[in-house]
Amino acid sequence: MGGATIKDVAAAAGVGIATVSRVMSGSGPVSEATRRRVLAAAETLEYRPSALGRGLKTRRTGAIGLLVPDITDPFSAELAAGVLACARAQGCHVVLDATGEDPDVEAELLERLAEQRVEGVIAVPVRRDPRPWEALTRLGPAVVFAGRTVPGLPSAPCVLADEAGGVRSVVEYLAGLGHRRVAFLGGRGADGPAVREEAFRATLAALGLAVEEDLFARARPTADSAFAAAASLFQRRPDLTAVVAGGHRLGEAAVLAARELTLRVPADVSIAIVEDVPWSELCDPPLTAVAHPARDLGYRACELLLRASAGGAARAPGRPVVLATELMVRASCGPVTGSMRTGRPR
């Protein structure tokens, strides 16, 4: 009832436990006859080798920790799907946890994963402080960052999307459409480098367009704040002709705000979002977006992790793996026309 052990099987098959072990793990020489007897015994007893016992002995658990901000977010979910796919292919299992973007939760979760003796952890990191990560690595598990890096750990293995390239591609696209006053809607908080905003500024500069601070809006990570930021941006600068949202939540807020202010998209204002979502096709109009290869990110991160934890930490530091983003041109961006909103508030 409580689960048969290797001893039970050995007894039932009339062999030693070592033999059972050999049969179950398929290693070592076993005569075909005993092999069959053992298998039969295992079958009737419904024997399932305990991963605990095995792990204790072999010091390998086949467990991978996965830390995402919010499994409910399409990016996280897609990333997780990639990790799951790779992990399963390698016979590993995934312990999932959500940090909720909270550094303290993240730290606690890392402790728990360490206790579980995971072989590695894949994380979309929150905490800017490199120490918890270093501590974890010292304990054993390999760490691979996905989607973001930790500033203090330049050499940590990580798999990133080409954020800069993605932002550049939209901005250039918008510029090509004739837009000159393009706003950026970004996240607030000590979120660190704000790669997207930085790439936005850089591209503007490279294109010879003016960088007006007034065209930058920042929101806290709540729907309300995002909406407010978008709305006030639209009202503050009635002359802007396009806005790039640095995240899908922000983009949605922009769409809603535009709708609220009865701005037509893209006739009055073009909207593009960084981080494509599964429903961009269904929006009205369908949203032009920079798509991130989230699933690949997860898959690659897992590959990297497995390789690292296998080859010992003897892995060369290696540059980050950077995966391309893709500009999905849909209908929410249009050319600048003479009939566009000018300086006059509507």
Partner DNA sequence: GTGAAAGCGCTAACAA
Partner DNA sequence: TTGTTAGCGCTTTCAC
Binding site residues, a copy of itself, CB under 8 A: 1-3, 46, 48-53, 55-56, 61, 63, 66, 70-72, 74, 77-78, 80-81, 84, 88, 93-98, 111-112, 114-117, 135, 138-140, 252, 255-256, 277, 279, 281-284
* Binding at 208: pick from a copy of itself, DNA, none (beta carbon under 5-8 Å per type): none
**CA atoms of 197 and 1, how far apart (whole Å):** 59
The pair of structure tokens assigned to 346 is 């509507």
Nearest to 253 by CA among 280, 232, 226: 226
Q: Cβ of residue 227: shortest distance to DNA, in angstroms?
A: 49
The pair of structure tokens assigned to 157 is 């293995």
**Which x/- pattern over 76-95 shows residues binding DNA (rule: CB under 7 A)?**
--------------------
Q: Cβ of residue 279: shortest distance to a copy of itself, in angstroms?
A: 4
Q: Cβ of residue 293: shortest distance to a copy of itself, in angstroms?
A: 14
Length of the chain: 346
Q: Which is nearer to DNA, 2 or 317 (CB)?
A: 2
Q: Which is nearer to a copy of itself, 61 or 149 (CB)?
A: 61
Answer whether 343's CB lies under 8 Å from 238's CB.
yes
- Which H helix or E strand runs over 183? strand 182-187
Spatial CB neighbours of 209, under 8 Å, sequence gap ≥ 6: 175, 180, 182
The DSSP secondary-structure symbol of 72 reads T
Q: Cβ of residue 302: shortest distance to DNA, in angstroms?
A: 23
Q: Which is nearer to a copy of itself, 195 or 269 (CB)?
A: 269
Answer whether 28's CB lies under 8 Å from 17's CB.
no
Candidates 11, 39, 45, 54; binder of DNA (CB under 7 A) is 54
Nearest to 19 by CA among 1, 3, 41, 2: 41
**CA atoms of 59 and 57, how far apart (whole Å):** 6
The DSSP secondary-structure symbol of 200 reads H
Q: Rule CB under 7 A: which of 22-51 touch DNA? A: 22, 24-25, 27-31, 33-35, 47-50
The pair of structure tokens assigned to 238 is 């009635």
* Binding at 256: pick from a copy of itself, DNA, none (beta carbon under 5-8 Å per type): a copy of itself
Nearest to 103 by CA among 62, 66, 131, 79: 131
Q: Cβ of residue 230: shortest distance to a copy of itself, in angstroms?
A: 13
* Binding at 98: pick from DNA, a copy of itself, none (beta carbon under 5-8 Å per type): a copy of itself
Q: Does 19 bind DNA (CB under 7 A)?
A: yes
Binding site for DNA (CB under 7 A): 3, 5-7, 14-22, 24-25, 27-31, 33-35, 47-50, 52-54, 56-59
